[in-house]
């Protein structure tokens, strides 16, 4: 009996092991399958920012994160900060390509070097959505799965001129009464499409609107509030109260210039116009220091970027559902913000939290 039991148990042993092994294999493969299915459900987005210190860009990053959280499907967003250094950004992008991110959102440090990034992404089959810092057209055509989301910079310059025209018509601009508008121009980063085109078209459109202008000086202040302030300090030394308008390629530089005026204790501030409609700019408008700004639609950009990523991930051609120019470009519009509508914008911003 004992013998029989022993023998039967010893006979059943290989079978049991086999069954166990089989069960284990099944469990393992089921586990793997589950893991894979889960992975497929998560859309992994890599978001490379040229410099997270930049006010407009860091808020755009937050918009993308927020949209990802609001989507019904699981989306993770990894944000990397290029800190204004292209080789740092290249390393960050390479790393995301190697880790197999599904879509890359790229805000280039140097917008002339998109080609190598596009080629590496193409090899890995990862679509790239550039935004805000526009690659040259030749690079954009290197691969069909390359996109750009942005706004027409020339339009923002023209809208700045319209804001100035309203003040001119109210008789607020020509302080010395010589029939000309004396202005200083604070420019963004040299070579940036928004700096070049805003500078050109704001001034051109002032003339088109019938305002004779006199440029006192211009300088690049690289989108930065402190650099805007420094430039303005120098100009106040040189021109003092002669400055009737501060024309700035963005809000931070306009606010920096106004900081300089405040520090000098200037009684009458020059007109000042920026672009972006940052929270601080809207607050300055409500206080009556900043004359006006132009809304740079970061929320709209984030929405378009997300829609592109979702379409690409579903394997669709985005051109079927979205308005794509030349198969690659999504263009959004700027909007003017003047004292008439600043309260609405402030309320809207508060509601969005
Ligand atoms: C511009 C914006 C600037 C700065 C720049 C960065 O569109 O007006 O404030 O953020 O982009 O590329
Ligand atoms: Ca004048």
| Statement to judge: residues 105 and 225 lie in one domain | no
Ligand 1 contacts (CB < 6 A) are 54, 56-57, 132-133, 188, 192, 194, 223, 250, 275-276, 296
Smallest Cα–Cα separation from 224: which of 200, 257, 183, 265? 257
Smallest Cα–Cα separation from 118: which of 104, 132, 133, 131? 104
What's the pLDDT at 327?
96
Name the pairing type of β-strands 181-187 and 245-248: parallel
Contact 159, 294 (CB under 8 A): yes
Instruction: Examine residue 115 and state whether it is found in any structural domain, yes or no.
Output: yes
* 124: its two tokens: 């890995």
What's the pLDDT at 22?
60
Instruction: Examine residue 305 and state whether it is found in any structural domain, yes or no.
Output: yes
Task: Please give the distance of CA 23 from its chain centroid, rounded to a whole number.
Answer: 52
Domain boundary among 267, 295, 323: 295
What's the pLDDT at 5?
37
| Statement to judge: residues 279 and 254 lie in one domain | yes
Name the pairing type of β-strands 293-295 and 335-337: antiparallel
| Statement to judge: residues 158 and 268 lie in one domain | yes
Name the closest ligand to CA 54.
1
| Statement to judge: residues 284 and 192 lie in one domain | yes
| Statement to judge: residues 115 and 220 lie in one domain | no
Domain total in the chain: 2
Instruction: Examine residue 235 and state whether it is found in any structural domain, yes or no.
Output: yes
What's the pLDDT at 193?
96
- pTM value is 0.88
Residue range of the domain that includes 313: 43-143+298-332
Gap from CA of 51 to ligand 1 centroid (Å): 10
Contact 313, 307 (CB under 8 A): no
- The per-residue pLDDT string of the chain (353 residues; one tens digit each, 9 = 90 and over) reads 333 333 334 444 556 666 656 655 555 554 444 444 444 579 999 999 999 999 999 999 999 999 999 999 999 999 999 999 999 999 999 999 999 999 999 999 999 999 999 999 999 999 999 999 999 999 999 999 999 999 999 999 999 999 999 999 999 999 999 999 999 999 999 999 999 999 999 999 999 999 999 999 999 999 999 999 999 999 999 999 999 999 999 999 999 999 999 999 998 999 999 999 999 999 999 999 999 999 999 999 999 999 999 999 999 999 999 999 999 999 999 999 998 888 888 888 888 76
Cα(307)–Cα(34) distance, rounded to whole angstroms?
27
Give the dihedral of Cα atoms 237, 242, 244, 250; nearest 10 deg: -20
| Statement to judge: residues 172 and 126 lie in one domain | no
What's the pLDDT at 323?
94
Gap from CA of 211 to ligand 2 centroid (Å): 10
| Statement to judge: residues 174 and 93 lie in one domain | no
| Statement to judge: residues 316 and 263 lie in one domain | no
Cα separations in angstroms, 28 against 20, 143, 324: 12, 40, 45
Smallest Cα–Cα separation from 59: which of 228, 210, 339, 282? 282
| Statement to judge: residues 134 and 165 lie in one domain | no
Give the mutation target among 54, 55, 220 for probing the ligand 1 site: most ligand atoms within 8 A of CB.
54
| Statement to judge: residues 137 and 232 lie in one domain | no
Name the closest ligand to CA 132.
1
| Statement to judge: residues 80 and 100 lie in one domain | yes
Smallest Cα–Cα separation from 247: which of 208, 201, 212? 201
Token pair 């009737």 is found at 244
Q: Tell me, what CATH number does 167's domain have?
A: 3.40.50.2300
| Statement to judge: residues 92 and 107 lie in one domain | yes
C-alpha R_g of the chain = 28
Instruction: Examine residue 232 and state whether it is found in any structural domain, yes or no.
Output: yes
What's the pLDDT at 14?
58
Name the closest ligand to CA 180.
2
Cα torsion angle, 53, 57, 63, 69, sign = negative
* 349: its two tokens: 């911003």
């Amino acid at each position: 009996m004992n013998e029989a039991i022993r023998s039967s148990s010893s006979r059943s042993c290989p079978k049991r092991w086999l069954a166990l092994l089989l069960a284990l294999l099944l469990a393992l493969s089921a586990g793997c399958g589950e893991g894979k299915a889960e992975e497929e459900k998560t859309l992994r987005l890599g978001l490379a920012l040229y410099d997270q210190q930049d006010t407009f860009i860091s808020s755009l990053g937050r918009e993308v994160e927020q949209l990802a959280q609001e989507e019904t499907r699981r989306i993770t967003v990894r944000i990397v900060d290029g800190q204004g250094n292209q080789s740092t950004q290249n390393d960050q992008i390479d790393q995301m390509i190697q880790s197999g991110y599904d879509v890359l959102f790229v805000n280039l440090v140097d917008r002339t070097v998109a080609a190598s990034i596009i080629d590496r992404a193409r090899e890995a089959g990862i679509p790239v959505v550039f935004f805000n810092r526009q690659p040259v057209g030749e690079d954009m055509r290197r691969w069909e799965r390359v996109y750009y989301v942005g706004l027409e910079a020339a339009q923002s310059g023209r809208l700045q001129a319209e804001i100035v025209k309203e003040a001119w018509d109210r008789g607020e601009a020509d302080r010395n009464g010589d029939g000309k508008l004396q202005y200083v121009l604070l420019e963004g980063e040299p070579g940036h499409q928004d700096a070049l085109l805003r500078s050109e078209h704001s001034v051109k459109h002032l003339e088109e609107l019938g305002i004779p202008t006199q440029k006192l000086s211009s300088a690049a202040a690289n989108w930065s509030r402190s650099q805007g302030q420094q430039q303005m300090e120098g100009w106040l030394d040189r021109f003092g109260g002669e400055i009737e308008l501060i024309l700035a390629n963005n809000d931070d530089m306009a606010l920096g210039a106004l900081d300089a005026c405040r520090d000098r204790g200037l009684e009458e501030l020059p007109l000042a116009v920026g672009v972006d409609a940052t929270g601080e700019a809207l607050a300055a408008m409500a206080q009556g220091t900043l004359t006006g700004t132009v809304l740079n639609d970061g929320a709209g950009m984030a929405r378009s970027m997300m829609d592109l990523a979702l379409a690409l991930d579903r394997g669709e051609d985005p051109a079927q559902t979205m308005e794509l120019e030349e198969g690659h470009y999504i263009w959004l519009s700027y909007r003017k913000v003047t004292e008439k509508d600043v309260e609405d914008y402030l309320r809207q911003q508060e509601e969005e939290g």
